[in-house]
Amino acid sequence: MTVALDLAPTSEAEVSEILADCHARRTPLRIAGGGTRIENPFLAETLSLSRLSGVVTYSPGEMTLIARPGTPLPEVRQMLAAEGQALAFEPPDLRGVLGGNGTPTLGGVVAANASGPRRLLTGACRDHLLGVRFVDGRGRVLKNGGRVMKNVTGLDLSKLLAGSHGTLAVLTEVVLKTLPLSPARTTLVFPGVTETTALRIFTAALSTPFEVSGAAHVGGTAYLRVEGLEGQLAYRRDRLLALLADWQPQVMEGAPWDAIRDVAHFAGGGPLWRILCKPTDAPSLCQGLRAMGGDCSLDWGGGLIWYRGPGNPRGLAPHATLVRRDGATGPAFPPLTGAVARLHDGLRRTFDPAGILNPGLMDA
Amino acid sequence: MSIAMPAPDPRVLAQASQIVAALRAVLPPDAVIDDPRETCAYECDALTAYRCPPLAVVLPRSTEEVAAVMRVCGDMGVPVVPRGAGTSLAGGALPTADCVILGTMRLCQVLEVDTDNRFIRVQTGVTNLSVSAELEPHGFFYAPDPSSQLACTIAGNIAMNSGGAHCLKYGVTTNNLLGATVVLTTGEVVELGGPEMGPMGLDLLGILCGSEGQLGVVTEAVLRILPRPEGARPVLIGFDSAETAGECVARIIRSGVLPVAIEYMDEPCLRAVEAFAKAGYPDCPAVLIVEVEGSRAEIDDQIARIRAIADALHPVEFRESRNADEALAIWKGRKSAFGAMGRLGDYICLDGTVPVGQLPHTLRRIGELSRQHGLEVANVFHAGDGNMHPLILFDANKPGDLARAEAFGADILRLCVAVGGCLTGEHGVGVEKRDLMGDQYAPGDLAIQMQVKDVFDPQWLLNPAKVFPLEASAAHRARAAE
């Protein structure tokens, strides 16, 4: 391989040229946005999308945002907030956890399908992705989806690219649905409860129509977030307080939802795993994980466990991704087998026949 | 008949009796139908202008039986057309003479209701409405609610990524589908997703949903369920122009109130509805029905906000419902709109989506096109998400009228694409919009979609001649036939 030189294209056409060239030379590339996501341990040149940046169109009345992949997430947040809107899936900022010093980008968020606490209520990043432009591993400039809320025209490749971690294509433009930000929010806090109790609280709260938009358990405290229009909020809060009175909830303004979203409690060192499970399985899984010698927190009403500690949690919970390696060995993503593995390989070869895009990142 | 279908494969037709025998060998006797008097019941779906009896029909009861069918058809090179309830308006389940129809209606068991983890697991032949009925005693519901929900199946909903009136708030099928048991053309069974909130590896469930039976057959599904809202109430707002109604939609959305539904009806539709259902709608060019949810106080608050927005635009009428009967009266006309239009003659129902800001312009252009083509059109649709349903009226008994209606429809769909929208918001491409795909996608954009199909269905046996223009797919099909 030649001496690594960072490639930082400023246009889609340049991305296409670079990929066509790398395809011909079979030169693998590490695809990076702000450099804040899962690290690719394999040596390769870096294709940085940081200079392919900027909002193309933001239409609050149509609830759509069209932007280039390198657009910094904080810039997007600010622009939307000025119109009382947000990316409802609450994309996390994991640079504290991953020790990166870059700024998270919109393309990185989509490539990782990164979704925060409100995923519970409003769905993941992929549910808000209306369309994409992208360059495949041959250098072909392609598009899928569009900029409207409802679209079933052809195969939904946008969903496939969301969460593909740059292993299928390089995103050059993303179209996301924006939603009105609830003007008011509050949090019910339950200090000193186990995961088992937290799950009982979550199950009760999430069976109500009060649109709980966050249900997390961190450091022995359970949190329930409620949002809404002003009048709505007081009503929802009071109904939940009454329903959950046995567990003695306290009302907290300014609860640390950004910190929960960014997994700030597990910043620093040690291998960090992201585990998806059936919510009611979470308490027993946490018990097993702690027995391995680490520590856990819950988000998404128990559907997401963060585990920091030694060992490989896949023996307990197969759906585990190694987000911060810090000495841990083995594949970052859960290994696949059988027909599903064959479909993955086939798709990978279709989008990137020379295997130049983040090779090895999602492989077993 | 302007939509071409490929000629049936003579090798398959010549083997018809062996194919039926092979299917009989792996299925119970009553699960294979090849008597032409019975197969003709499957010759079309709700796009009734196009018909073709299949070679045979199979009605399996389990994933294992579906897998057995797929192995037989894969080995013998027989095309398979999956079919839910046959309610597709786009010809998504139109047979070919050399195909086996795989009907899902006997896959009708509810397998698991788990309110603690907020999902229901069903066989996919269950109807959309029966899923919510099953959940009602638990205080939950399943959100996607296509108009055909009484008849249409979850299998069809997944294939077409169906929406409905309430998806402005709750999303469409893909946003409410957690997992699927899928039979591939090899007969292999794979589980994609599940009760967990995310895929293992690539989001294969994401491309499967809405793939119109091109990639695999879904036999079981895990669906996300939601607690029932405390209440819901509609308001009706009449305007003296389409532009003002469109502006009202945009302002409501910007205000932060997120209604569960914003429905639009134009004058021709209102006239037909009034004659049919006598819903007592105001006599004006445009009516919106806006529905909000919550407790009584929450609903009052949201309606007050909507009234303030509407008042600034000087509506002809703002009608609130004070009780359940008045709420039903407001919905009565909208819900009977398709029936009312049916009384006026034959119609084609289109499904293009446009950016909400383009609604007034699009409606104006549709009016101009209507005069050009000399055919009447009525508009009734989901305005909050820009999903239009123009209904083009024609007379099927008048020679050439269907072709004129189809040409008019194609012009409307091209218009939708030109203003930044798409050909279909919730009905799917099927055969109906297949030949317009080139208007929305460049050749490369279609090619990559077809290459994805190559991966899942290398023999190109699943749901032939749908979604992709025949010319564009010719090379893929030829390679597959080798």
Whether A172 and A256 map to the same domain: the answer is: no
| Cβ contact, residue pair A162, B206, below 8 Å | yes
User: What part of A 225-264 touches B (C-beta under 8 Å)?
Assistant: 228-229, 231-232, 235
Strand B317-320 to strand B261-266: parallel, antiparallel, or no bridges (unpaired)?
A: unpaired
Return d(Cα B306, Cα B394) in angstroms, integer. Answer: 37
Whether A358 and A272 map to the same domain: the answer is: no
Secondary structure (DSSP) of B316-361 = SEEEE--SHHHHHHHHHHHHTHHHHHHHH-EEEE---B--GGGHHH
Average pLDDT over residues B278-288: 92
Give the chain A residue nearest B119 (alpha carbons). Answer: A278
Contact in structure between A162 and A209 (CB atoms under 8 Å): no
Q: Which residues of B touch A140 (CB under 8 A)?
A: 444, 448
Q: Which residues of B touch A146 (CB under 8 A)?
A: 420-422, 440
Return d(Cα B257, Cα A298) in angstroms, integer. Answer: 30
Residue B119 is predicted with a pLDDT of: 98
Three-class DSSP category at B315: coil
CATH number at residue A314: 3.30.70
Instruction: Mark which of A261, A277, A296 sits at the end of a domain.
Output: A261
Residue A42 is predicted with a pLDDT of: 57
Alpha-carbon gap: B325 to the closest alpha carbon of chain A (Å): 23
**Structure-token pair, residue A40:** 């690719």
Whether A177 and A94 map to the same domain: the answer is: yes
Whether A91 and A208 map to the same domain: the answer is: no
**Structure-token pair, residue A290:** 């702690």
Whether A62 and A96 map to the same domain: the answer is: yes
Residue A360 is predicted with a pLDDT of: 86
**Structure-token pair, residue A120:** 């519970």
The total number of structural domains in chain A stands at 3
Average pLDDT over residues B283-304: 93
Count helices and strands (H / E) in chain A. Answer: 11, 17
Give, for all 364 residues of chain A, the pLDDT tens digit.
333 457 999 999 999 999 999 999 999 999 988 776 666 555 578 999 999 999 999 998 889 999 999 999 999 999 999 999 999 999 999 989 988 778 999 999 999 999 999 999 999 999 999 999 999 999 999 999 999 989 999 999 999 999 999 999 999 999 999 998 888 999 999 999 999 999 999 999 999 999 999 999 999 999 999 999 888 899 999 999 999 999 999 999 999 999 999 999 999 999 999 999 999 999 999 999 999 999 999 999 999 999 999 999 999 999 999 999 999 999 999 999 999 999 999 999 999 999 999 998 887 5
Helix, strand, coil percentages (3-state) for chain B, rounded to 5, are: 40, 20, 40
Whether A201 and A218 map to the same domain: the answer is: yes
Closest to B227 measured CA to CA, from B165, B294, B179, B299 = B294
Instruction: Mark which of A261, A280, A314 sits at the end of a domain.
Output: A261
Alpha-carbon gap: B38 to the closest alpha carbon of chain A (Å): 32
Return d(Cα B293, Cα B233) in angstroms, integer. Answer: 7
Question: What b/e sequence results for A10-22 when a residue is b if at least 16 CB atoms lie within 10 Å of its CB, and e otherwise?
Answer: eebebbbebbeeb
Name the residue with tokens 């939603």: A179
Give the chain A residue nearest B163 (alpha carbons). Answer: A150
The verdict on A196 touching B (C-beta cutoff 8 Å) is no
Alpha-carbon gap: A149 to the closest alpha carbon of chain B (Å): 6
| Cβ contact, residue pair A229, B298, below 8 Å | yes
Return d(Cα B413, Cα B427) in angstroms, integer. Answer: 13
| Cβ contact, residue pair B197, A209, below 8 Å | no
Whether A298 and A227 map to the same domain: the answer is: no
Question: Which candidate in B301, B423, B448 is best for mutational testing of the A interface (most A CBs within 10 A)?
Answer: B448
Residue A9 is predicted with a pLDDT of: 96
Q: Which residues of A touch B428 (CB under 8 A)?
A: 152
Return d(Cα B8, Cα A358) in angstroms, integer. Answer: 44
DSSP class of B229: P
Render pLDDT for B49-93 as a digit per residue (tens, 0 to 9): 899 999 999 999 999 999 999 999 999 999 999 999 999 999 999
Question: Which candidate in A19, A115, A155 is best for mutational testing of the B interface (most B CBs within 10 A)?
Answer: A155
Give me the residue from A151, A160, A203 closest to B203, CB to CB.
A160
Return d(Cα B467, Cα B355) in angstroms, integer. Answer: 23
Average pLDDT over residues B96-112: 98
**Structure-token pair, residue A134:** 């992208």
| Cβ contact, residue pair B357, A336, below 8 Å | no
The verdict on A168 touching B (C-beta cutoff 8 Å) is yes
Secondary structure (DSSP) of A95-141 = HHHHT--S--BHHHHHHTT---TTHHHH--GGGGEEEEEEEETT--E
Whether A11 and A124 map to the same domain: the answer is: yes
Residues belonging to chain B: 482
Residue A77 is predicted with a pLDDT of: 97
Alpha-carbon gap: A14 to the closest alpha carbon of chain B (Å): 18
Whether A132 and A13 map to the same domain: the answer is: yes
For chain B, the average pLDDT equals 95
Return d(Cα B350, Cα B354) in angstroms, integer. Answer: 12
Whether A63 and A5 map to the same domain: the answer is: yes
| Cβ contact, residue pair B422, A160, below 8 Å | no
Instruction: Mark which of A222, A246, A261 sits at the end of a domain.
Output: A261
CATH number at residue A234: 3.30.70.1710
**Which positions ≥6 away from A329 have C-beta within 8 Å?**
none
Residue A34 is predicted with a pLDDT of: 75
User: Which residue segment(s) compose the domain that A201 sits in?
Assistant: 184-261
Whether A39 and A122 map to the same domain: the answer is: yes
Split at pLDDT 50, 70, 90, the class of B1 is: low
Domains present along chain B, CATH in parentheses: 10-228 (3.30.465.10), 232-338 (3.30.70.2190), 345-435 (3.30.70.2740), 436-481 (no CATH)
Q: Which residues of B touch A126 (CB under 8 A)?
A: 203, 206
Q: Strands (DSSP E) along chain A, which ranges?
A: 29-32, 45-48, 55-59, 64-67, 85-86, 129-136, 141-145, 169-177, 179-180, 184-190, 214-218, 221-228, 250-252, 272-276, 295-299, 304-308, 320-324
Q: Strands (DSSP E) along B225-330, which ranges?
A: 226-227, 232-239, 261-266, 286-293, 317-320
Three-class DSSP category at B426: coil
Whether A319 and A348 map to the same domain: the answer is: no
| Cβ contact, residue pair A319, B202, below 8 Å | no
Average pLDDT over residues B380-393: 91
